Amino acid sequence: MSDSEHDEDLRKAIQLSLEDAGQSAAPVNSAADENTPQSSWPSSSPLPSKHTRDPVDKLYIYDPAEGKVPKSFLPKPIRYDKTKDPFHSATPRSDRTPVFGTTPENAELFEAMCGSPERPVSPPTNNFAGLNRKAMEQERLARAAAKESGKKIPIVGDNRSKKKQRDSISPPPIKRAAQSSPTQTSPVPSKRQRVEASDAASQGPRSTETTGEADASSILQKESTPSDLEGISFPRGVIKQTCSAFNGHKKTDRQISVEEVFQRSSLRMAVISAFQFDALWVLNKYQVMHTKSVFVMQAKDKQLRDHISKDLAKSKVPNLKLCFPPMEGQVSCMHSKLMLLSHQTHLRVAIPTANATVYDWGETGVMENSVFMVDVPRLKEGQDNPAGMTPFAKELFHFVQAMGLEPSLIKSLHNFDFANTKHLAFVHSIGGAHTGSDIERTGLCGLAKAVRELGLETKEPEIDFAASSVGSLNDEFLAFLYTAIKGGSIKTGDQIKHIKAKVDTKIRKRFRVYFPTDETVGKSLGGKACGGTVCIQKSYYTKNTFPKEMMRDYVSKREGLLSHNKILYVRGLNKDGDPIAWAYVGSANLSESAWGKIVMDRAKKVPKINLRNWESGVLFKVDLEGAEKGKVPDMKVFEDTVGIPFEYPGKEYDGRQPWYFMES
């Protein structure tokens, strides 16, 4: 295609989107998911003649190869400020701009806010106000002009004050790796490009990996497949780290950008759940005029849900719907991070440890996360699912139904073949109280069930947990968690009594918890101002019952990065002495709020699990081919598949203090 043809298509797109109010907008792409009735989605709306906020200067396409990020888009320092804390706020709710990820102000929920989920201190202003097609198209035009002129955007993110950056006696900068040449694609594909992409997708996946049925012994693929392939790229699942391709961190095959996760050129539908949302940033990562979206968000009460919904209606963002999971009673946090990304050839199930924010995905160069992805192929028309429902699919469907996604959307998931997920387990926490058969499916009990279903039971496992938030730990909670990790059953009153009776501090010797010290956060690229989503309370840590000897300093292998990872590594021997290794990646941190508290229901006289949070994650076996029988595997067995983003075995605190986000 010639430059003139592309420019003409671009001008037409801009002209269409800058029309005055009252004129019809462009129709939704006919390639949208046919299994969700189009009539149930918001239609494209006329553009407002005026808007109060022009966000053009804050929108951009991130180039992981070049590491561009405009200075104006850097988030405000994430630091605890009591005057801005919603818990302490005296401002009536109706007078506040809704912030996605904000937890309720009720005092009894304070522990849940700080114990497991990241606390959104000084959160981003990510409401829907000011979002509209006009602004988005103006931004695309600005990007195209910048690309044509070859204008460079300065790299930012150093942990230096403005004064030090101006002075000649500033500390020596971190040695930067050579930047690769920029390779940006046009942010507005032409009509011909869209047709060509559609034709290519219809020819099937271009992956070199097999898409045949996998047995239960299958493992995740190793870091050898490029992450930017269209079509089915990860049929058996893969773990990637988020990018941070500047501040000296060169992107490798182990890292992935959010654009690559979305596969934006062929994305038809996106269901995205997160504790925090930067809506403007997310919507700029794919083509909102051609992709249907559902944002699964936190809103404790009806007043806040109505406020957010009205905010969206005013913004006139096309093809976007909202879903608010139930949060009655004790439930305080919708912390799940899950993406269902529908394409013509496949469904990508992505489970990140990152929220839907610019800094969590590494684009400000201060934070690192991980993401699990598996691509399941779309069944041909009229084809029955040959494998039926795998355990992974059953729990995924159960979870999204509990969240409240529309039945038509859940039904459309049956059009994909989940046969290649037999070696995976979807592990979740559904907020609320659960008894009967439901207790086995979620929280600690669901974790134990997943371990048993995959045949990963161990006797005395070694446990390494990288967490971005640590709750009020004690030996009883550790005993229940340890039982679940071993694959033990926790569903009867006698089993609960047995676990409580065997609480022993010796378990602490088998746990290592990776969480940064105050010193490590202070030395990070973003400094203490960017440590607001790394959480532990001083009142928890200073208790005599807190297992301090388990703590290890989390120091990233990518120098200067803070971590928002939630990764559980388990190694041990089964009853026959065979070595076992498995890992969990997801949204759940190390706290009772995330994994649940198991008690006896006084009225029904049956076991009950209480869960304050919504969480989601994936559990999978790690290949141990050639491992020595009778010997517990070393941590390095995780390097090729899961990856270990931090230095291990990790330094003990040795008198140092953890990072107290509320104290600094």
List binding-site positions for substrate: 337, 566
Annotation: binding site: 337, 566
- DSSP helix/strand/coil, 349: strand
Q: Kind of pairing, strands 320-323 and 292-296?
A: parallel
Name the token pair of 505.
């501090």
> Is the Cβ–Cβ distance between 453 and 391 less than 8 Å?
yes
- E strands, 250-369, are 255-256, 269-273, 292-296, 320-323, 333-334, 338-342, 346-352, 367-368
Give the amino acid at 621: K
Phi and psi at residue 8, to the nearest 5°: -65, -45
- DSSP helix/strand/coil, 613: strand
Active-site pick, 423, 428, 434, 564 = 564
Rounded Cα distance, 259 and 282, in Å:
10
Active site residue 414: no
Question: From residue 378, how far is each of 74, 201, 205, 289 by CA, in Å?
Answer: 39, 12, 11, 23
Name the token pair of 412.
């459309």
Active site residue 335: yes
Run of H or E including 585: strand 579-586
C-alpha closest to that of 106 among 84, 120, 87, 89:
87
Active-site pick, 290, 335, 343, 346 = 335
Percent helix, strand and coil across the chain, each to the nearest 5: 30, 15, 55
DSSP annotation of 164 reads: H
Rounded Cα distance, 564 and 354, in Å:
7
Q: Which three-class secondary structure string do you get for 405-438?
A: CCHHHHHHHHHECCHHHCCEEEEEECCEEECHHH
Which residues are identified as catalytic?
A: 335, 564
